[in-house]
Amino acid sequence: MKRNKMKKQSPNSSHRYFGEYGGRFVPEMLIPALEEMERAYFFYKENRAFQQELDNLRRNYSGRPTPLYFAENLTELGRGCKIYLKLESLNHTGAHKINNVLGQALLAKKMGKTCVIAETGAGQHGLATAAVCAKLGLKCRIFMGEKDMKRQYPNVFFMRLSGAEIVPVKDGAKTLKDAVNAALKYWIEHLKDTHYLLGSALGPFPYPVMVRDFQSVIGSEVMEQLRKCEKRLPDVLVACVGGGSNSIGFFYPFLHNKDIELYAVEAGGRGPEKGENAIRFGKNPRTGIVQGYRSYFILDENGQVLPTHSVSAGLDYAGIGPELAYLYDTGRVCFDSVSDQEALSGFQILCREEGILPALESAHAVAYALKIAGNFSRKEIMVINISGRGEKDLFIAARELDAENWLKFLNEETENG
């Protein structure tokens, strides 16, 4: 496991790319840290004791396997294929993000790191990181844009309760992109004892591969669960897509089977105008190198990252992971979007039909799935990944769907307090 040995084993860097996407475009001083991570990741990937420890945490701490649930009422409403829901929402801390956090935090400990930093948008990645750091005895610092801190305050509150320090990011649009920049800057200054626990399948190599692998537990479980209850594979998979971790983890075990249709749903926001959505694959998709990797980003003519908007903080991001960028080019994954309003209606529909409160991010997948369900026959099977649960979105949903009563309740609470 010496550095020079590793270099000899990897004379070229093609393993860091998906087609032309990915790579490792970072300042020189980050290279040793990323190489150390790469060596550690590929070593522990094959290490039985590590995998058993991870498996134990997945089962007994996070509550895996998460259910694969036949949504009978949603199926009726969709008037097409049979719809199943993969309930990542039932993970400890409320979303798929913990799948990656458990893997990376364990890896950080094996690498002898005592501190973990992370960026967060919706707060789900931050919350999972704070919780797992509390459990594993790691110091935790979370970078979060000020705008996201305001709109996802319940998660800020819970992260602090778990002992994490929250660093408000006041730069740029004060959202996820700015939190990533701030975390990277901090990491460069604290490389010795700190692991940067990146929250999606993007960034410089090895993150896109490592995060995808840790998230692939979603797709692997779906495959096994569906084999048991339906004795077959699915026909259609639908997931929302921000940076790409829940979608690539869900799709990955099925990629080679070309008969299975894969749909990734982006945030259509308030409309197609600049700054009003987070659609990377719109009319004129642009590629560039941002935050350490080559991929598709929402850029202006000069290659500058443009502001984004989504009602869901977790999809409010200008970039997408390099593997999904490649799968867009090859046509293997179909990308489309739904608007804020459609997502809010998906949120209500899942509550009304199935009594399940999805995260607003996942509500994008629900809304889109219902649009296309009718294109498939009753014999076909669709699985929607419910990447997270919606408690964190209480105040956004309250404002959009029931403002008057909530205002009354909050005023009364304030007066009583």
- Could you list the active site residues? 97, 119, 387
Separation between Cα atoms, residue 60 and residue 156, nearest integer Å: 25
Least distance between ligand PLP and beta carbon 316 (Å): 9
∠ CA 142-143-144, rounded to 5°: 115
Please identify which residue in 102, 122, 226, 383 interacts with ligand PLP, judged by CB under 6 A.
122
Among 82, 92, 125, 177, binds ligand PLP (CB under 6 A): 125
The CB density around residue 50, as the number of other CB atoms within 10 Å, is 17
Residue 253: cis peptide before it, omega within 30 degrees of 0? no
Q: What ranges make up the beta strands (E) of 146-280?
A: 165-169, 194-196, 236-240, 261-269
Query: Rule CB under 6 A: is residue 16 a binding residue for ligand PLP?
Result: no
- In 275-352, at which residue ranges do the beta strands (DSSP E only) sit? 286-290, 293-297, 333-339
Residue 200 binds to ligand PLP (criterion: CB under 6 A): yes
Q: How far apart are CA 257 and CA 73, in angstroms?
A: 29
Q: At closest approach, how far in Å is the CB of 388 from ligand PLP?
A: 2
Stretch that binds ligand PLP, among 28-36, 105-113, 117-125, 297-305 (CB under 6 A): 117-125
Sheet holding 236-240, edge to edge: 68-70, 82-87, 381-386, 236-240, 261-269, 333-339
Instruction: Check binding of 100 to ligand PLP (CB under 6 A).
Output: no
Q: Which of residues 104, 124, 129, 337 is near ligand PLP by CB under 6 A?
A: 124
Torsion (CA) 357, 359, 360, 366 in degrees, nearest 10? -70
C-alpha to C-alpha distance for 77 and 296, rounded to whole angstroms = 35
Residue 359 is a binding residue for ligand PLP (CB under 6 A): yes
Nearer to ligand PLP, 138 or 320 (CB): 320
CA dihedral sign, ordered 405, 392, 351, 339: positive
Strand partners for 381: 82
Binder of ligand PLP out of 361, 368, 369, 372 (CB under 6 A): 361
Residues 282-321 as x/- pattern, contact with ligand PLP by CB under 6 A: --------------------------------xx------
Cβ proximity to ligand PLP: between 138 and 343 the closer is: 343
The count of residues interacting with ligand PLP (CB under 6 A) is 22
Binding map of ligand PLP across residues 244-263, x = CB under 6 A, - = no contact: xxxx----------------
Instruction: Point out which residues bind ligand PLP (CB under 6 A).
Output: 95, 97, 121-122, 124-125, 200, 240-247, 314-315, 359, 361-362, 387-388
